[in-house]
Amino acid sequence: MNKSLLAGLGIGIASAVTLSAVASGSLFESKPQFAEVLASKPVTETIKTPRQECRNVTVTHRKPVQDQHKILGTVVGGALGGVLGHQFGGGSGKTVATVAGAAAGGYAGNQVQGNMQNSDTYTTTEQRCKTVQESSTRTLGYDVSYKLAGQEGVI
Chain segment 23-50, per-residue pLDDT in tens = 665 555 667 788 999 999 999 999 999 9
126, part of any domain: no
Asked if the model's pLDDT at residue 2 lies above 60, the reply is yes
In angstroms, how far is the first alpha carbon of the chain from the final one?
Answer: 56
The percentage of residues in the chain with a pLDDT greater than 70, rounded to a whole number, is: 84
Q: 147 and 135 share a domain?
A: yes
Q: 74 and 96 share a domain?
A: yes
Q: 104 and 83 share a domain?
A: yes
More confident residue, 14 or 107: 107
Q: Convert the pLDDT of each residue in 89-111 to its tens digit.
A: 777 778 888 888 878 887 888 88
Domain that holds residue 21: 1-29
Local structure of residue 19 (DSSP, 8 states)? H
Q: 88 and 111 share a domain?
A: yes
Q: Against a cut of 0.75, is the pTM above it?
A: no
Alpha-carbon distance of 62 to 127, in angstroms, equals 19
Alpha-carbon distance of 101 to 21, in angstroms, equals 124
Q: 83 and 107 share a domain?
A: yes
Chain-centroid distance of CA 88 in Å reads 69
Q: 21 and 42 share a domain?
A: no
Q: How much is the pLDDT for 49?
A: 95
124, part of any domain: no
Alpha-carbon distance of 9 to 1, in angstroms, equals 12
- The tally of domains found in the chain comes to 3
Half-sphere exposure of 52 (CA within 13 A, CB side): 5
Asked if the model's pLDDT at residue 123 lies above 90, the reply is yes
